[in-house]
Amino acid sequence: FSTPFSFAVLKKRLVKLVVNFLFYFRTDEAEPIGALLLEQCRIIKEEENVFSISFIEEPERKYCFECDSEEQCQEWIEALKRASYEFMRRSLIFYRNEIQKMTGKDPLEQYGISEEARFQLGTRKQ
């Protein structure tokens, strides 16, 4: 999943989403020049083709991205929102509970992780 973007300071970059990292590259180089860890962040649609990423611990620092179309912008927003560990953890808990309701069995038990607190509901408030 990668596409060219312009940063708010009008620098054209190629970005690539890998799990929960958003790597950014100069358009003429193969190695990334930086990466954003997509944890504890807010992703907001700013304008028709523009969205931003800001971090809860540094709200004054905002990264803006301009897409080629509104549709592309929405696709990126959705992909980035699904990229965080916390989103994946909540999804795992939800599907684990749904499977347990349907089958009566904990689907993670066979992997020896049925008692791990991080996969339990109510371990902390969302």
Q: What is the pLDDT of residues 81-126, one digit of tens each?
A: 999 888 888 888 889 889 989 999 888 887 777 666 666 655 444 4
Identity at 15, one-letter amino acid code: V
Q: Report the share of the chain in percent with pLDDT over 90.
A: 40
Q: In which band, very low, low, confident or very high, does the pLDDT at 6 lie, cut at 50, 70 and 90? A: very low
Number of domains in the chain: 1
Q: How many CB atoms lie within 10 A of CB 109?
A: 11
Is 95 part of a structural domain of the chain? no
CATH code, 21: 2.30.29.30
Is residue 72 a part of any domain in this protein?
A: yes
Alpha-helical segments (H) within the chain:
70-81, 85-103
38 pLDDT tier (thresholds 50, 70, 90): very high
- 100 lies in a domain? no
Between 101 and 1, where is the model more confident? 101
Question: What integer is the mean pLDDT of 44-64?
Answer: 90
- Please count the other Cβ atoms lying within 10 Å of the Cβ belonging to residue 117: 8
* Contact criterion met (CB below 8 Å) for 25 and 35: no
In a domain, 114, yes or no: no
* Gap between the Cα atoms of 41 and 80, Å rounded: 10
The answer to whether 25 touches 13, Cβ cutoff 8 Å, is: yes
Q: pTM for this one? A: 0.68
Compute CA 19 distance to the chain's CA centroid, rounded to the nearest angstrom.
8
> Does any domain span residue 57?
yes
